[in-house]
A and B are shown apart, each in its own frame.
Chain A
Amino acid sequence: IVGGRSAVPGLFPWQALLMVEDVSRVPEGRWFGSGALLSESWVLTAAHVLRSHRRDASVVPVSPEHIRVYLGLHDIRTKHLAVNRTVERVLLHPRFDPRNYNNDIALVKLSQRVDLSGLALPVCLPPPGQDSSLPLPNTLGLVAGWGISNPNVSTDDTTASDLGDRSDVLQYVKLPVVDQEECRSSYASRYRKYNITENMFCAGYYEGGRDTCLGDSGGAFVMEDPHTGRWVAQGLVSWGGPEKCGSQRVYGVYTRVSNYMPWLQNHLDSDS
C-alpha cells in the first residue's frame, strides 16, 4: 500500500494473507497476496494470485497444498499468532485471461472452518443484481495489504516476493473510484495493449501518491453501504501499469466483484 496508514488489529477482520510456495519454480515460486474472508470456509481473491506461474497463457491453479492462508493477522512477522489454514480447493474463474487479467477473480476453500472473532469476520458481497455501473466515480473505498509501500525499491516480478519490500504491519489506503472512461483512456493513451474491460474498474488519484502495489493483489476494495453501514467488497486488487505504484495518472485496476455474483453464489451455495 503506497501512501497508506497502518491499520490497528481488527480494522480489516476479513483481510487474509495468502502465502504461496510453488516448490517446482524455486526461487521464483514464492509469493504472497491478499484475500477477503467471505464465510467460515471461503476466501475471495484474485485469480492471478493463485495461478501457477507459466510462460504460456495456460491457466493452472496452484496446488492447494502449496497455499497457506492466515487470518486475523496484523503484523506479518507474527504469523504464528494468527489463524492458519490449509486449503482444500482453489477455484479460478473459468474465463480468467492471464494476458489481460480479465475475470481476475478466484475462490479458496479452507480445509477447516475458521472460528469467527473480532479479528476474523467476513466481508459482505455486493447484493445480487447490482447495477454494473456501480461503484460510482469518486466514491471512496478502502484497500488494505502487506504489499510494497515504498515503490522506489525495485522488484523483479509482477507479484511481490515475501522477501521484498513489503510492509510488516497491515497498511490501508482510501482511494476514490475513477470514472470508467477516464480509466480506459488513461491506459489507452499510454499502452495500446492494456485493455480496461467492463469487469474492471480503476481507483486512485490523478496526482498519485496513494495506491495499491505489488503484494496487495487479491485484497478487497471495500466500500461502506450507506444504508446498512456494512463494508462490501466491490473490488479486488488486480493490476496496474508498469510505472511505479502511486505514480501520477496511473490508476490501480480492480476486479469488479458485482459482475461475478452468480458465479460466486453458485459455488458458495453449493457448498452450504
Chain B
Amino acid sequence: DKYQLKIDQFFKKM
C-alpha cells in the first residue's frame, strides 16, 4: 500500500 506510511519513519532506532 503506497499510501501507508511506516512507523519506523517516525521513531529513531535506539
Q: Do A and B come from one complex?
A: no
Which residues of A are interface residues toward B (Cβ below 8 A)? none
